[in-house]
Amino acid sequence: MDNSEKIILNKFLKIANLEVKKFADFFKVPPPFFKLKLARNRDEFNRLAKIETSEPWLAGMFLAGKPAKIILLHPVAVEKEGIHFKEDLEKILKHEVAHLVFNEVYPLSQPAWLKEGVSVYLAGQTKRANFNLKFFSENGTFPLSLTTEEEWKRARKFGAYGISGKFIKFLVKRDEGEKLRFFIQKLPKENYNKEQFLQIFKEVFKTPLVLIAQDFLKNLRKEVRKNECRTKARNPSGIRLC
Ligand SMILES: [Zn+2]
């Protein structure tokens, strides 16, 4: 590795270490050890990840294990190999670091909305979140409709990441994450069981998950409407209707 490569790797390592500490503080766990690898192209990324990836939005990955690994497309490769810009890499890295830390407290892959929502929220990716609210209001009960890998894949293009991140933010906002932390600690770490999951949620939050989610969607509808009004009001030819 030449000097300029070392500088690039160190820059990302510094960001990752800071975030590991921050997220570990959030979950009140010791910062986990990890290795960071920068892949110079998609082939190298796949070799490191030990799976075949070609999705253009995929530029980072967390791999559990000893040691845990985070793979990130190199800044020289990211624009060539997918839809992301160089500037997105920091957020992508933070998202993967959030997976690394979350894996310490909850190693299961289900439910997908919890795993991905926590990472989107911690990485600060909720601000520019795009999602089709109608899809999530009409296709099953949110967020239970986003539990399995297949459900997640289907909903991804409708903004499953964004809406799940916003939902986690909504839960955290109630009490700075106290209940969410406690809830995650209480969850069994083997074999996801929906009934048990919902029961523990209700015990900790004192309200069923589905009711909190309805409240969340109602708020989101209001937020979306307000933004539409703002857009209309900015239109010089439009009459302000709301
Ligand atoms: Zn993720």
Residue 237's pLDDT is 57
Distance CA 44, CA 65 (A): 19
Percentage of the chain with pLDDT > 90?
Answer: 84
Confidence band of 121 (pLDDT split at 50, 70, 90): very high
User: Is the CB of residue 216 less than 8 Å from the CB of residue 170?
Assistant: yes
Q: What domains can be seen in the chain, in order of their start residue?
A: 1-105 (3.30.2010), 107-242 (no CATH)
Mean of per-residue pLDDT scores for the chain: 93
Identity at 180, one-letter amino acid code: L
Identity at 201, one-letter amino acid code: F
Q: What is the pLDDT of residues 211-239, one digit of tens each?
A: 999 999 999 999 888 877 776 666 655 55
| 120 alpha carbon – ligand 1 mean position (Å) | 7
Q: What is the pLDDT of residues 166-213, one digit of tens each?
A: 999 999 999 989 999 999 999 999 999 999 999 999 999 999 999 999
pTM of this prediction? 0.91
| 105 alpha carbon – ligand 1 mean position (Å) | 16
Q: Please confirm whether the linkage preceding 111 is cis (ω < 30° from 0).
A: yes
39 φ/ψ angles, rounded to the nearest 5 degrees: -100, 130
User: Is the CB of residue 84 less than 8 Å from the CB of residue 45?
Assistant: no
- Residue 30 to residues 20, 24, 62, Cα–Cα distance (Å): 9, 6, 18
Q: What is the pLDDT of residues 54-92, one digit of tens each?
A: 888 899 999 999 999 999 999 999 999 989 999 999 999
| 21 alpha carbon – ligand 1 mean position (Å) | 19
| 227 alpha carbon – ligand 1 mean position (Å) | 27
| 232 alpha carbon – ligand 1 mean position (Å) | 34
Distance CA 137, CA 119 (A): 22
| 162 alpha carbon – ligand 1 mean position (Å) | 11
Residues 6+ apart with CB under 8 A from 2: none
The crossing angle, in degrees rounded to 10, of helices 160-175 and 209-234 is 110
71 φ/ψ angles, rounded to the nearest 5 degrees: -110, 135
Confidence band of 100 (pLDDT split at 50, 70, 90): very high
Distance CA 207, CA 229 (A): 32
Distance CA 47, CA 203 (A): 44
User: Is the CB of residue 207 less than 8 Å from the CB of residue 215?
Assistant: no
| 186 alpha carbon – ligand 1 mean position (Å) | 22
Of the candidates 45, 40, 41, 42, the one whose C-alpha atom is nearest the C-alpha of residue 69 is 45
